[in-house]
Amino acid sequence: MKLINKDHINELKKLYNDIDNCISDLVVARGRRDDTGIAAAHWQMETLMVNTQQTISYIFENLEVKEVDLEKEINLWFDYGFPNDEELLDYIKETAKHFFELGLKAQKGE
């Protein structure tokens, strides 16, 4: 699984802002009944739609979902033995830590 780096996030923000600006340009041009401005905004929209489709395609190609068999993990964890009452709080903490780390491993594709 590939992680999205900061450059990709910045590209997504730029794309979002470009779309937002294009919408504003179109609204202003329509308000002024500016056919040239409307045509320019439509042309810009077409370009942004292609860029958006390419970006979404990239995200789909690089997006990977890892599933964890929670039932199996719980059974494995409890096979280590259940603690007595005095150890219960520590055991709960260790259990939470185990499943947190399991989630991190799943994110990394381990």
pLDDT tens across 16-67, in order?
999 999 999 999 999 999 999 999 999 999 999 999 999 888 888 777 666 7
Cβ contacts of 26 within 8 Å, gap of 6 or more: 37, 38, 41, 42, 45
- Would you state the pLDDT for residue 82? 59
66 touches 73 (CB < 8 A): no
- Would you state the pLDDT for residue 23? 96
Cβ contacts of 18 within 8 Å, gap of 6 or more: 48, 51
With DSSP H G I counted as helix, E B as strand and the rest as coil, what are the percentages for the chain, rounded to 5?
Answer: 80, 0, 20
Amino acid at the residue 94: E
